[in-house]
Chains A and B, each alone.
Chain A
Amino acid sequence: MADDDLPREYDAIVLGTGLTECVIAAALARIGFRVLHLDRNDYYSSEWAVFNFDGMQRWIKQEQTRALEKEAPFSSELYQELLEDGEVLIPLPQHGTGTSNVVEKVFMKEAPADIVEVEDKTSKLSLASEAAPNITSQETTESSEIDSQNVDNLLQDSDKRFEESVVSETVSQGDHSTQSQGKDQPLTESEEQSENAKIGQEKNEENSVDVAESTGKVEEQQKSDKTEPNYDNVEFVVQESDHKAQGAGVKVAEKEPKKPDKVREWTLSELKKEWRRFNLDLAPKMLYSRGSLVELLISSDIAKYCEFKTVTRILTHLNGKVEQVPCSRADVFGSKAVTMVEKRMLMKFLTFCMEYEKHAEDYQEYQEKPYTEFLKSKKLSATVQHYICQAIAMSTDKTNTIEGLRRTKRFLQSIGRYGNTPFLWPLYGSGELPQCFCRMCAVFGGTYILRRTARALIMGKDNKCVGIIDTEGLRMKCNWVIMEGGLASEALLPENSRNRKSSRGIYITDKSLCTDDQDQITLMHLPPANGQTDPITVMELSPATYACPKGLHVVHLTCQGCNSAEEDLKPAEDLLFKPVEQVEPEPTDTRPRVLWSLHLNQMDNTGCDLNEKTPENVVLVAGPGASLDFEHSILEARQVFEKICPGEEFLPKAPNPEDIIFDDGQEAANGDSGFEADVNDEGADQEEGHSQDTDSEVDAGVAEEGSEWS
């Protein structure tokens, strides 16, 4: 098809669409390089990808297939006629993957049990209209008095792997995974809906409406409310304004006191129906508000493609409870968890940390000793020590003082720029960010092809790569190859590159780790377990981030990989979630229940020099790694760019299209200079015409300078 006029010669060919590759691709295209960017997958962002629920199911299947597939032997004869004298091929693995131990588990009933066929229809209708006002008002306890006989039969029908004979609300359904049965539900959509309605009704006594069907309904109603201002469900207004308040991060009005949330009981088919509303990241990361990625997004204006939420709270696990860590000045003042004396201590210490370098005498003798000892010497209370070490410095009792102080300062520096915590979370997931750079690359002439990669590198004389053979058998010339390290063959990789991995767990849960009446985005760290040296990172995303539909939360756990992700994360799961195997949970157990989980290990090659063995014009870059932030990736991208084009500007701001305006037939002042750009023009040419308009546009209201702790 379009291959016929696809150019066969490039300045750089980039393989893989992870963040680092994308930043490099954009930076090269930006200064006029001809860039071809390939990815063997049919989605963007490689190991950094974000998927909706369907996409995630496909990814799981793909990874499991890849793990089993045998690599077809490479035969260079096939490509001989494409080679010139003296050229040889280095084959690249096609099935290799940096991901392993992918395990999906479902802890929900497959479909709503089909029990009460004969329930009268009139009450159903009335329930539907009353659903919204009642969501928050009922306890969950009686919702599952189900005829076990019936359920049993039904479950055997719908899923032979169901082994529990009695189904009550919190019964664990064990480890059956869904890969095989997902798509072909026996019920059609509309049938399913009516099933849902029935079960929603069945599960609830009288007016205690299980949210089963109603979440959808609530939204529909809200929508239709817009068009029909005269609806007369007064109670519904309360519900709606309640929602608005949450959306805006404002406390719910006092007159409508928040009752304990009724936790909806989800089934897999209900969850799948909401598949579009999930954005599940393979490698979730947060941005420091003053980190290098934020600065780059601003300086390059790529920020115009993305939207963020501030991480709203830092939690910590202390004395068996999850509580919020005060980290901004306002938080410290307002905190009820610490005494007045402790507040003063904390204030004083954090202020010191912002300029600790100036007070070397204060910490000199502790430099190499554990940070915890230094904190103790400062006569901080145990609670305050815990906050600083675990939550703010994200450290362990092994971290030394100088490192602890550095981390504390880094955390504090980013507070107050956009919010009360130092972090930003990208809407739609952090896997969205590589795509923003892809768009920039494409706008500057980069060509993108998914489902295609390099079959082999073509090596010319002097150990230089002269191009690739792509998986369609085309020869593409290039001066540089930049590729995701995970795609390289053993021959190109240093020996130690496969030693490290990260362990990740993704969980869909039925409520927040620490419920309050706002949509929170949470960061938390837990002390290392089983042989790890670094803390375990916990992120919790509310529906406000678009990570999941209303009524659910998504939790991400990340740590260094010592064993499989499942083993590595078990201690943290035990701490955070209701036990899945327990039939009757303690009524006092307020922890969230896991409805669905995915474990995986990713190769972590962020710690090694990947290019010991590569030809000089082939550059391998690392995957996401276990770190919380993007610093490694951005640093690496800059270094690679500097290596390829020393002295060139790294992602200068693109001209703003709105500077080129044609007003209803009459040309505006700017004319069309720059718009009709020649492909071979370097972007810089255009920018001259507009640079005066595009500087200085950072919104002063938001991007206020200076940390509030400085």
Chain B
Amino acid sequence: MAAAEKKEHLYKILVIGELGTGKTSIIKRYVHQFFSQHYRATIGVDFALKVINWDSDTLIRLQLWDIAGQERFGNMTRVYYKEAVGCFIVFDVTRASTFDAVQKWKNDLDSKVQLPDGSSIPCVLLANKCDQAKEGLVNNAGQMDEYCKDKAFAGWFETSAKENINIDEAARFLVTKILANEEHMQTNEDGPKDSITITSSSSSMPGEKKSCC
């Protein structure tokens, strides 16, 4: 599909956060350009794939990993976190309790996945449902900036999957951070290069395709 001489990147991005904050809606808006009030749980797929023509010679394939049935209590397997290079943590601006849980998700994330140099992966905070009445800290942008700085978020965006606000922008921002990280260190440098994937559908794990840089 892509021109052969294009550089191709494959990135695994996690979308986590409390139940009902709109994770799946955000993914669907971003990947499939639609929104439904009544989406059902996503059955049978690990991730949605978004292909971005980043610039004239870079193609980026984003795997957006939704958290499936393990979300309720934040009990994620390592399989889910493994090899992720970026993350969205989503909360619902209309429910302050979902913001309170953000820190728990960030801690879980940082404890289960790191970049090869041991630093945490870039994480963007999404204040979703911003088309509705807000509750709590999110009303004060200055304090939100402070919070993100404090808790080591790369940044935050007010988003609405329903009104399609800021979702592309947030994704673009996260990808920029990921690309910057890649320049710093060859991702997967630490990885055992001779490991065996015993089945290999052409593209299932990010590691396989990262030969590009």
Contact = CB atoms under 8 A, between A and B. Distances in A.
Contact of A679 (B18, B40, B195, B197): B40
A450 B71 CA distance: 11
B73 A664 contact: no
A655 interface: yes
Q: Is the interface of B mostly helix, strand, loop or mixed?
A: loop
B49 A703 contact: no
B186 interface: yes
Interface residues of B, number: 58
B173 interface: no
Nearest to A452: B73
Contacts of A655: 44-45
A59 to B, nearest CB: 16
A436 B79 contact: yes
B32 interface: yes
Contacts of A698: 199-200
Contacts of B80: 439
Contacts of A545: 192
A662 B32 contact: yes
A677 B42 contact: yes
B77 to A, nearest CB: 4
A68 interface: no
A662 B33 contact: yes
Interface string B193-206: 11111111111110
Nearest to A287: B198
Interface string A408-431: 000000000010000010011000
Report the contact-size class of chain A (Cβ under 8 Å from the partner).
Answer: 35 or more
Given A307-B197, A309-B192, A544-B192, A442 B48 contact: no
Interface stretch (B50-58, B86-94, B131-139, B142-150): B50-58
A677 B44 contact: yes
A697 B208 CA distance: 14
Contact of A298 (B1, B18, B72, B199): B199
A654 B52 CA distance: 25
A301 B199 contact: yes
A677 B198 contact: no
A303 B69 contact: no
A27 B194 CA distance: 30
Q: Is the interface of A mostly helix, strand, loop or mixed?
A: mixed
Contacts of B19: 2, 5
B44 A308 contact: no
Contacts of B192: 247, 307, 309, 427, 544-546
A662 B50 contact: yes
A677 B43 contact: yes
A439 B43 contact: no
Nearest to B66: A443
A249 B46 contact: no
Interface string A299-311: 0010111111110
A661 B59 CA distance: 14
A424 to B, nearest CB: 7
A303 B28 CA distance: 26
A309 B78 contact: no
Contacts of B46: 439, 443, 657
B41 to A, nearest CB: 5
A609 interface: no
Contact of B40 (A442, A657, A678, A703): A678
B73 A448 contact: yes
A449 interface: yes
A697 B75 contact: no
Nearest to B114: A276
B185 A702 contact: no
Nearest to B67: A442
B69 A442 contact: yes
Q: Which 4 A-B pairs have the closest CB atoms?
A: A304-B204, A442-B68, A303-B199, A435-B77
